């Protein structure tokens, strides 16, 4: 499934204002490659995609890691985009993934749908929402280091590094 379009123009504008075109970007849960299409001017964009049929179709990325992010190790990215990712894993796993990323990037973006139940789609078990209870208050409680980047409404929000840690 593709990620939602809500707020993407504003978030792309923020990225362009805050990151040089030679920034190294990691797109986690790349799905159909929407962030690559939205930010074509960034030369170095890698992707992580757990669902092999999606990973095989991704184009335009520097490197595609056909793995679950929970098993990917990396040294540094200027920006890591977790577009519709953390709701697909337990809060323990999501905190571990964000905690690993936190010191390995200048900033990160976490896009989250609120109170959205979803099962596996198209045979993809990674599409199931494990944290289908997320709200702004629960995100603040579970992930206290995140700050609102852009709230386009529609039960959806973008966060990035705030103060502290996850």
Containing domain of residue 63, as a range?
8-161
Within-domain flag for 166: no
Q: Return all residues near 10 (Cβ < 8 A) that are at least 6 apart.
A: 150, 152
Within-domain flag for 143: yes
Within-domain flag for 39: yes
Within-domain flag for 2: no
Model pLDDT for residues 137-158, shown as the tens digit of each residue: 999 999 999 999 999 888 888 9
What is the domain-level CATH number for residue 114?
3.40.50.150
Model pLDDT for residues 54-73, shown as the tens digit of each residue: 999 999 999 999 999 999 99
- Structural domain count of the chain: 1
Predicted TM-score (pTM) of this structure: 0.91
**Alpha carbon distance 56, 74 (integer Å):** 21
């Amino acid at each position: 499934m593709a990620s939602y379009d809500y707020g993407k123009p504003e978030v792309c504008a923020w990225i362009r204002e805050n990151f040089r075109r030679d920034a190294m970007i990691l797109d986690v849960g790349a799905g159909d490659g929407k962030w690559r299409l939205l930010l074509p001017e960034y030369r170095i964009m890698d992707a992580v995609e757990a669902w092999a049929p999606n990973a095989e179709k991704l184009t335009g990325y520097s490197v595609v890691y056909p793995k679950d992010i929970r098993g990917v190790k990396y040294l540094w990215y200027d920006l890591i985009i977790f577009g519709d990712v953390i709701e697909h894993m337990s809060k323990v796993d999501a905190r571990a993934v964000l905690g690993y990323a936190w010191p390995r990037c200048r900033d990160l973006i976490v896009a989250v749908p609120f109170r959205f139940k979803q099962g596996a789609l198209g045979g993809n078990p990674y599409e199931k929402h494990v944290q289908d209870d997320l709200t702004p208050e629960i995100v603040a409680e579970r992930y206290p280091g995140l700050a609102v980047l852009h709230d386009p409404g529609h039960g959806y929000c973008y966060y990035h590094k705030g103060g502290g840690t996850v």
